[in-house]
Structure 1
Amino acid sequence: MDISQLDYAQLVALKADVEREIKGRESEEKAKAKRQIVELAKTYGLSIEDVLSKSQGVRKPVEAKYRNPDDASMTWTGRGRKPVWVLQHLDAGKSLEDLAV
């Protein structure tokens, strides 16, 4: 098919036909992929819930590396933003090692 020979209306109709065909095939491909995934899971004795679950096991909480000397209940793992009490300690000219657990 030489599309350069088609007029505007024919091209628009062709575009609509192509988009409709793409949607249909996309549905077919997704259904095929789902069947393959289910079969593969069954082969390895997995349920779909096993496949889709995000947890790979129980994660151990990160232990604190730093403790506030004025309030022992305030700790920091060293990850993420520094707590205010750590910043105040550092602003006072002291080192982070002073807070090490």
Structure 2
Amino acid sequence: MSINLDQLSVDELEKLIKQAESALDKKRKAELKNAQAVLEKMAKNLGVAPQDLLKSSTEKKKTTRKNAAKKKTGVRRPAKVKFRDPNNSGNTWTGRGKRPLWLQDALSKGAKLEDFAV
């Protein structure tokens, strides 16, 4: 079916749009009703409720995890200091993240990382 839309007036186009939306709504409702019937038949054959067929595998895993031991949450302890500046004991580094400037300066002057190990 092909309709030449160029020949239709604005009123005719609006009427056509309304008719198409109505037809689309009816078709969607019919397909939904058909899908529900298929789902109910499948559930009946399996001996389960139709709602159980709609649950995804991740939802089923979540329900089993609720019964499992819960992960402990709380405050993390700070990381242990692994490197300390011998000239200033306030300058420390845990070895995580970017190297601090005091350590970068010392290493660039020829010091070794092992010299600052705690």
> For the superposition of Structure 1 and Structure 2, which TM-score range results when normalised by the shorter chain?
0.5 to 0.7
Alignment of 1:1-101 (within 5 A): 1-52=3-54, 54-56=59-61, 58-59=64-65, 60-62=68-70, 75-76=72-73, 83-84=74-75, 86=76, 88-90=77-79, 93=81
Report how far residue 40 of structure 1 moved: 1.1
Q: Give per-residue Cα distances to partners, 1:22-71, cap 9 Å, x unaligned.
A: 111111111110001111111222222432454356322256xxxxxxxx
The 1-side partners of 2:15 and 2:22 are apart by: 11
Equivalent position of 2:113 in the other structure:
none
TM-score, structure 1 normalization: 0.58
Unaligned runs of 5+ in 2: 83-93, 95-118
Report how far residue 10 of structure 1 moved: 0.3
Larger relative CO (CA 8 A, sep 6+): 1 or 2? Answer: 1
- The number of aligned residues is 75
The 1-side partners of 2:10 and 2:51 are apart by: 50
> Identity over aligned residues, as a percent?
20
Backbone CA RMSD of aligned residues: 2.6
Q: Which amino acid aligns with 1:2?
A: N
